Structure 1
Amino acid sequence: MMSLTESPRLRLGVLGIVAFSLFAVMFARLWYLQVLAAPTYKVQAEGNRIRLVAEPAPRGRILDRNGKVLVDNRVSEIVAVNRAELNHPRQVLERLALLLGKPESELASRLDDPRFSPYKPIPVAEDVPKAAVIHIREQQSDFPGVVAGQVAERSYPNGTLAAHLLGYVGEVNDQELAQHRAQGYRLGDNIGKSGIEQIYEDELRGRPGIDKLEVDSKGRVLRTLGHQDPVQGDDVQLTIDLDLQKLAEDSLAQGLDAAHKAWDKNMLKHFVAPAGAVVVLDPRDGSVVALASNPTYDPAAFVNGIKPALFRALQDPNGHYPLTDRAIQGQYAPGSTFKLFTAIAALERGLITPATTIVDNGSLRVGNRIFKNAGGRAYGPVNLAHALTVSSDVYFYSLGNAFWAQRSRFGDGIQATAHELGLGERTGIALPYEAIGRVPDPTIRKRLHDQNPKAFPNGKWFSGDNVNLAIGQGELVVTPLQLANAYATFANGGTVYSPRVAQRVLRDGKPVREISPVVAHRVSLPPAVRDPILQGLVGAVAGDKGTAHGAFIGFPYDRFPVAGKTGTAQVLNKQDTALFVAFAPADSPQYVVTVVIEEAGFGAQSAAPVARRILDGIAGLAPAQVNQSSGVD
């Protein structure tokens, strides 16, 4: 049994052991912090007092095929405010707002904007007049913490020219930031939003500069520890020809204006002609030489952020959506320009020969429906070439009906040819938001009906649908680029290219990457198929009975022969869409020109004159004013 005198000794012993253990733990922790963990905490301490601040790099330029500048950078005078040095902020902002002609609240909101680094002066105004900059510098005591400087901003020396193709830049949004954070993007950075600016963002952006700053515990900058200059982005040289692009845009605008003045005899009003597109390709390698869309917009409006009222106007249906690039996003029934596809399908599969003749009496009965030529015209006996020249609907109605009647032998022959020539799928052009189009068939008809029975009330496919398809009507829709690329394939003898908009990437004027033509696939177009069709397309332009003859009167066919096809597509509750596709020289094609104008009537009257003016310029002639022409289809 333990005595009473031993109990205090035991307690003191236990207390000593506990105290020794606590001191041992404390000394071990101190040893860990001072010896083992010292390097780690040193790095953290350094991080607490060092800040890295990015300086945007000037973007690379965008050039045309001949080196002419399409997009550049310009110097903008800015006024910025250093919050750490801003004494009496209310009085300074009042004076600054008065000088700059801006609301004081706008300046204050800029200073509170979290996108800007707290360690650098915050820009509160861009494109400041030189007089205001000089005043701030001369009266610096009235503007403590206010500095004037210069920054590089995107510049578009040709105004709205090629706006849809070139695209625009804007401030990175949350989604883009999440996608590109690994590339060093930060809030407030600019990024390509559309067109070439978006697709070639990595090449154009450049490498941001870095300032390494030492700050105190309150975040005030003490000194600059290092600086790395920004490196300007690479230049991107396009396949576009600036002069031909201007010719295409001017010609399209004139064509729209001419259509506005023309009278629609069916609807008893002037044509609306709200919009249109032009595509010019080089069929030898798929290069895009011009790409025009109207209405258009000014990409410079997006520099430093577009004004909300202007952006709303660009979205207003009454303005016909100027941001939409109709050359690659517009989807239209191709009308009689699709007869090229039906002709190839019929010859390839042996449904007809070039000599097959059909008597065109102006209409064709299929079941209980009567299908008529435009205007009810009758062309008499026509073979394939002549049917293309005069655009005999009856001839191609007959082919569509025959394909359906013999579908067990030929399948969906017209649709198969359309797919071979690139319809119903994206062309692969290096531009964002390209539409896919649609080549309807019995399966697609059923799917459309199942998805939207109100818009597509009938889920079955009938002979009349095949008849309509043969002349480019019904649910068939194509983009102007798809149509141009298909004709380019025919023109070059069967090579389907992915249209190319850029040739190379340049650094300091020297190529660092070549962008070669891309062959998607090839289709068979033997002379027995190609020659009679070519004969018909040449006749459509140069022949006295050709549908485009009126638009090309006086053109120098002898030295610059042209082949082409007019088209007019009916649209529910709207005026007809006018189309025309041409390639030249017909015997050795170097250019394909496609024109599509919404609600403008016959392609021969509205679209062909636009193409004529463009081809005049290509042939070295002085382009004349676009006027409405004669012709049906």
Structure 2
Amino acid sequence: MGSKGRQMALIAGTIGMFAVLWLRTFFLQIVQGEYYRKLSEENRIRMEPVEALRGLILDRNGVVLVENRPSYTVAVMPDRSENLDATVAYLGRLTGVGEAEIRRKISTQRRWPYQPVKVRRDLPFSVLAAIEEHRYELPGVIYQLEARRSYPFGSLAAHVLGYVGQPTRREFTKLAREGYLYGELVGRSGVELYYERLLHGRPGVRYTEVDAFGREVQMLSRRDPLPGARLYLTLDVRLQKAAEEAFGEGRSGALVALDPKNGQILAMVSRPAFDPALFSGVLPQKTWEAIQADTSYPLLNRAVQSAYPPGSALKPLTALVGLASGWVSEDTEFECTGAFPFGDRVFKCWKEEGHGRLDLIEAIAQSCGVYFYQLALRTDVDIWAQYARALGLGRPTGIDLPGEVRGLVPSKGYYGKGWTQGLMLNLAIGQGEVLVTPLQMACYAGAIGTGRWVRPHVLLRVEEPDGRTFAVESKSREVPVPPEVLAVVQRGMLEAVEGEEGTGRAARVAGVRVAGKTGTAQNPYGEHHAWFVAFAPYEDPTIALAVVVEHAGHGGAVAAPIAGKVLSEYFSGRWVAEGR
């Protein structure tokens, strides 16, 4: 090829090269320009989710029971860090969390790469200052002002209020579809869990401009979060305090006080208690392991999640069934010698020397076991079970708290071929296989006192962020028991407290006639459980309650005095004037 040919080839090659470059530039700038512009913007603009404030929880009079306190949280955004390994190592030393733990958190959150990975909550000011001092050495690291749950009254009503915690990975997969942010704390028990959707609110978002190192330059825009609803509970903090003080420390058991006309829970105690504030910040693993290993089960709400044999507190039911079925009348008398032989067993009364000859009202008041053994021989267990369920036993009450157990009211079908009438002797006095919750027994006492069973509830009303308010309606039903039958049982329970020989005299309240029933439930694992149920005033009940103290002995000596203190507070002038 001559020089002229080589020159032409060089010119053609140069033109071809520039054509390729031009076409490539055209493709990048015109055809894919928008795509790369977005990439540039995403590299420059950071989207930070903003958690919504959880709703406050208040008592019936507006006293704050759960609120929010400010707290700093440090987080890392892996996609914004130039050298993630170096950032993680440095941040691990500053926060004390440790490099391995931070890497575990990042790995766990890999499915949600655009949400900050929260490294440590409740950041001490000294650590926050250190992070701020080294912020230019920590690209992709941010700290956020968040809200943590705070409990002004400590462990008061802890089992009703509940606590918050981080959801599991599986739980968050579902929550993410509902707009939840990774790392948000959610309700884990009590009202915090049951009304999670009302309390949670709607997260916001904050857009900021950052430089090439991920450092914030300016805030561009934001969408404010919407706080959760404000919940007013049926509890009264004064009565709750009185109930917890009356129960005392070092005991296990539960107490429930409610309004038998509308089902509003006025006080609910479960012992032992716990401090819900432990869960709102950083819960050390050793602390959680200690709580899990505690054989007294402090997180268990015994008022709704534990079932016990009710002992003699169930005798009013057996009396009611006998009257309604025509097996006895209020004048029916039986002789009590202190023991009742049946088959190859001897069933004993609590009073060794016996009560002598008693009618039905006297038998309820003095809690005569032998009287009810003889009534049991006339009792059909299936009819007895039917009335028990009509009074709310052996089935969930439907209270707005999680984890409620149903208890057990056995019928003939439960025993199958093993049924004998001798089993009825135990059931008649609240022993054997029958199991009830303290909440069920409070509802049971209220139903006897008013003739209506009401569904219990702890939520009084809801106030939405936009000002809308709605109240919870009470639900009740008439118990299928003739009024004249209820009247006899009510008089028996009145005599149990107000009568000279009643076993519940320790529950008396000056100026108020209280009707109640003691119970001492045999326990194969130790000392008897002490029971007491009541309603008052006798003439027109406005409060019903149940108390059980585990491994404590006799109901009249232990549970009845606790009930008396609660009733005294309830009927004090301050409560009547301000609390109802």
TM-score normalised to structure 2 length: 0.85
Q: Does 1:354 align with 2:330?
A: yes
Q: Supply the distance in 1 between the matched residues of 2:40 and 2:256 (Cα, whole angstroms).
A: 57
- Greater mean deviation of Cα atoms: 215-224 or 288-297: 215-224
Q: Does 1:58 align with 2:53?
A: yes
Q: Supply the distance in 2 between the matched residues of 1:128 and 1:589 (Cα, whole angstroms).
A: 51
Rate the CA distance shift 1:377–1:592 in 2: closer, same or farther, 3 A: farther
Letter in 2 for 1:616: S
1:576 paired residue among 507, 521, 528:
528
**Superposition deviation, residue 584 in structure 1:** 1.5
Rate the CA distance shift 1:387–1:122 in 2: closer, same or farther, 3 A: same
Please name the residue that 1:197 is paired with.
192
Q: Supply the distance in 1 between the matched residues of 2:385 and 2:462 (Cα, whole angstroms).
A: 39
**Superposition deviation, residue 282 in structure 1:** 0.6
Q: Supply the distance in 1 between the matched residues of 2:248 and 2:351 (Cα, whole angstroms).
A: 28
Please name the residue that 1:329 is paired with.
305
Please name the residue that 1:471 is paired with.
429
Rate the CA distance shift 1:220–1:141 in 2: closer, same or farther, 3 A: closer
Contact 2:194 2:401 in 1 (8 A): yes
2:502 paired residue among 525, 546, 557:
546
**Superposition deviation, residue 356 in structure 1:** 1.1
Letter in 2 for 1:420: A
Rate the CA distance shift 1:369–1:140 in 2: closer, same or farther, 3 A: closer
Contact 2:313 2:532 in 1 (8 A): yes
Letter in 2 for 1:125: R
Rate the CA distance shift 1:100–1:384 in 2: closer, same or farther, 3 A: same
Letter in 2 for 1:79: V
Q: Supply the distance in 1 between the matched residues of 2:39 and 2:479 (Cα, whole angstroms).
A: 63
Q: Supply the distance in 2 between the matched residues of 1:309 and 1:64 (Cα, whole angstroms).
A: 33
Q: Supply the distance in 2 between the matched residues of 1:43 and 1:331 (Cα, whole angstroms).
A: 64
Letter in 1 for 2:404: E
Rate the CA distance shift 1:113–1:174 in 2: closer, same or farther, 3 A: closer
What secondary structure, in the 3-state scheme, does the structure 1 residue paired with 2:403 have? coil
Letter in 2 for 1:427: T
Q: Supply the distance in 2 between the matched residues of 1:347 and 1:216 (Cα, whole angstroms).
A: 84
1:17-60 C-alpha deviation (Å, 9 max, x unpaired): xxxxxxxxxxxxxxxxx9xxx99x98999699768653221111
Q: Does 1:610 align with 2:562?
A: yes
Please name the residue that 2:109 is paired with.
114
Q: Does 1:252 align with 2:222?
A: no
Contact 1:360 1:382 in 2 (8 A): yes
Contact 2:514 2:538 in 1 (8 A): yes
Letter in 2 for 1:126: R
Letter in 2 for 1:284: K
Contact 1:115 1:188 in 2 (8 A): no
1:418 paired residue among 388, 399, 411:
388
Rate the CA distance shift 1:52–1:149 in 2: closer, same or farther, 3 A: closer
Rate the CA distance shift 1:101–1:386 in 2: closer, same or farther, 3 A: same
Contact 2:117 2:183 in 1 (8 A): no
Q: Supply the distance in 2 between the matched residues of 1:192 and 1:480 (Cα, whole angstroms).
A: 24
Q: Supply the distance in 1 between the matched residues of 2:347 and 2:472 (Cα, whole angstroms).
A: 48
1:316 paired residue among 285, 293, 298:
293
Rate the CA distance shift 1:393–1:228 in 2: closer, same or farther, 3 A: same
What secondary structure, in the 3-state scheme, does the structure 2 residue paired with 1:413 have? helix
Letter in 2 for 1:339: K
Rate the CA distance shift 1:486–1:505 in 2: closer, same or farther, 3 A: same
Rate the CA distance shift 1:187–1:89 in 2: closer, same or farther, 3 A: closer
Please name the residue that 1:125 is paired with.
120
Q: Does 1:480 align with 2:438?
A: yes
1:241-293 C-alpha deviation (Å, 9 max, x unpaired): 11111221222125xx4xxxxxxxxxxxxxxx5x2000011111111111111
**Superposition deviation, residue 496 in structure 1:** 1.2
Q: Does 1:528 align with 2:523?
A: no
What secondary structure, in the 3-state scheme, does the structure 1 residue paired with 2:305 have? coil
Q: Supply the distance in 2 between the matched residues of 1:537 and 1:413 (Cα, whole angstroms).
A: 22
2:356 paired residue among 356, 380, 394:
380
Q: What RMSD, in angstroms, separates the aligned Cα atoms of the two structures?
A: 3.4
Letter in 2 for 1:600: A
Gaps spanning 5+ residues in structure 2: where?
1-26, 576-580
Contact 1:64 1:239 in 2 (8 A): yes
- Greater mean deviation of Cα atoms: 160-169 or 276-285: 160-169
Letter in 2 for 1:124: V
**Superposition deviation, residue 441 in structure 1:** 1.7
Letter in 2 for 1:293: S
Within 5 A, what are the aligned runs for 1:26-425?
54-81=49-76, 83=78, 100-107=95-102, 109-110=104-105, 113-114=108-109, 118-119=113-114, 122-137=117-132, 140=135, 146-211=141-206, 226-254=221-249, 257=250, 275-304=252-281, 306-318=283-295, 320-403=296-379, 407=380, 412-425=382-395
Letter in 1 for 2:555: G
Q: Supply the distance in 2 between the matched residues of 1:592 and 1:128 (Cα, whole angstroms).
A: 46
Letter in 2 for 1:490: I
Q: Supply the distance in 1 between the matched residues of 2:560 and 2:474 (Cα, whole angstroms).
A: 29
Please name the residue that 1:518 is paired with.
475
Q: Supply the distance in 1 between the matched residues of 2:548 and 2:335 (Cα, whole angstroms).
A: 31
Rate the CA distance shift 1:117–1:369 in 2: closer, same or farther, 3 A: closer
Contact 1:119 1:220 in 2 (8 A): no
**Superposition deviation, residue 534 in structure 1:** 1.6
Q: Supply the distance in 1 between the matched residues of 2:311 and 2:491 (Cα, whole angstroms).
A: 20
Contact 2:97 2:119 in 1 (8 A): no
**Superposition deviation, residue 572 in structure 1:** 1.8
Q: Supply the distance in 1 between the matched residues of 2:342 and 2:114 (Cα, whole angstroms).
A: 78
Contact 1:277 1:480 in 2 (8 A): yes
Contact 1:84 1:220 in 2 (8 A): no
Q: Supply the distance in 1 between the matched residues of 2:502 and 2:393 (Cα, whole angstroms).
A: 26
Letter in 1 for 2:236: D
Percent identity over the alignment is 38
Letter in 2 for 1:158: F
Q: Supply the distance in 2 between the matched residues of 1:84 and 1:465 (Cα, whole angstroms).
A: 70
What secondary structure, in the 3-state scheme, does the structure 2 residue paired with 1:491 have? helix
**Superposition deviation, residue 167 in structure 1:** 1.3
Contact 1:60 1:233 in 2 (8 A): yes
What secondary structure, in the 3-state scheme, does the structure 2 residue paired with 1:579 have? strand
Letter in 2 for 1:532: V
Q: Supply the distance in 2 between the matched residues of 1:213 and 1:43 (Cα, whole angstroms).
A: 21
1:214-254 C-alpha deviation (Å, 9 max, x unpaired): 99999999997753111111111111111111221222125
Contact 1:49 1:214 in 2 (8 A): no
